[in-house]
Amino acid sequence: MAVYVLGHKSPDTDSVTAAIAVAELQKMLGVDAVACRQGELNPETELVLKKFGFDAPELRTDVTGEKYMLVDHSDIKQAPDNWDKGELLAIIDHHKVGDITTPNPIFFCAMPVGCTGTVLYTLYKDVYKKDIPANVAGLMLSAILSDTVLFKSATCTDEDKAAAEALAKIAGLDDMMAWGMEMAKAKSAVEGVAPRDLIFRDYKDFNMSGNNVGIGQLELVSLDLVANMRDDLYAELEKVKAEGRHSVFLMLTDIMKEGTDLMAITDDPSVIEKAFGVKLEGKTVWLPGVMSRKKQMVPPLEKAFGG
């Protein structure tokens, strides 16, 4: 019976490549593992898969009656549908522990590092003692460059840098920063994309003290790229909020200036002030130095919501 490996909904490069890297590792261990994705690939992930010669993993958003493993998340809101009607075998992650529980013991490996790719590097090397195939190393390296925003994010650790250096060697990539910039440019592609697709390109829902809170993020090499899209994005964000959410946020992150212009629509604007110490006047507020949803958005917001 196949074991499905899935990253989170609205998959990013890490969620897709980690599913592939875990499936490849499991195959080495004799498990019939199948990498899956829970949604459409973003342009950066497409570029990465193409460069290292992988097809898109199969689309799967329901695990009823199946054996499965999760990578890059352990939150119910990001997990496949009917996660509790299948058999969860493993979670490999680098986020806060979410709200998924199991009736049986499972393999659980989470590390406070910048990327699932870094956790997987440790698993391949130190836990299972397997050689990482060059093309899989390329995927894991790309995920680290993406998740840590070329090592600039507050989430980036020395382990991420060391893993990236080692993986670049295995993958035969001489200039990983040049490759990272190429990826960043692909990630910044917004021209001609519907506002709704941009909001959900890299998007996560959270339960914050009983409130439904959505946070999307666009990482851009320049905010000029969205200058004439702001009104349309805001209008679409209002619709997303009206679909049963207390608040929705869209992080317009400038990876060169290293900060985020936060678009916010909320029932309670005081959470912005509580979380970030600045008042929301108008549609956005500039948050210097903020690049990470996981480390610089979610914790202060959870606190502001009283969690």
Cα 291 to Cα 222, 253, 296, distances in angstroms:
13, 6, 7
In the shown chain, the binding pattern of residues 40 to 79 toward Mn ion, with x for contact by CB under 5 A and - for none, equals: --------------------------------x-------
Number of residues forming the site for Mn ion (CB under 5 A): 4
What is the distance between the alpha carbons of residues 69 and 109, in angstroms, rounded to a whole number? 12
Please give the residues from 222 up to 281 whose contact with Mn ion meets the rule CB under 5 A.
Answer: none
Decide whether 14 or 44 has the Cβ nearer to Mn ion. Answer: 14
Span near Mn ion by CB under 5 A; candidates 118-126, 147-155, 179-187, 268-276: 147-155
Tell me which of 66, 147, 159, 219 binds Mn ion, using CB under 5 A: 147
Smallest Cα–Cα separation from 237: which of 209, 210, 218, 220? 218
Decide whether 137 or 272 has the Cβ nearer to Mn ion. Answer: 137
Contact between 14 and Mn ion per CB under 5 A: yes
DSSP string, 81-144: BTGGGSEEEEEEESS---S---SS--EEEE-SSS-HHHHHHHIIIIIS--PPPHHHHHHHHHHH
What is the distance between the alpha carbons of residues 81 and 229, in angstroms, rounded to a whole number? 33
Phi and psi of 80, rounded to 5°? -65, 155
Span near Mn ion by CB under 5 A; candidates 97-105, 142-150, 265-273, 299-307: 142-150
Q: CB of residue 64 vs Mn ion: minimum separation in angstroms? A: 26
Decide whether 260 or 292 has the Cβ nearer to Mn ion. Answer: 292
Cα 185 to Cα 74, 196, 248, 264, 305, distances in angstroms:
29, 20, 26, 25, 35
Decide whether 92 or 198 has the Cβ nearer to Mn ion. Answer: 92
| Chain position carrying tokens 């920063």 | 177
Please give the residues from 80 up to 119 whose contact with Mn ion meets the rule CB under 5 A.
Answer: 116
Q: CB of residue 70 vs Mn ion: minimum separation in angstroms? A: 12
The binding site for Mn ion (CB under 5 A) comprises 14, 72, 116, 147
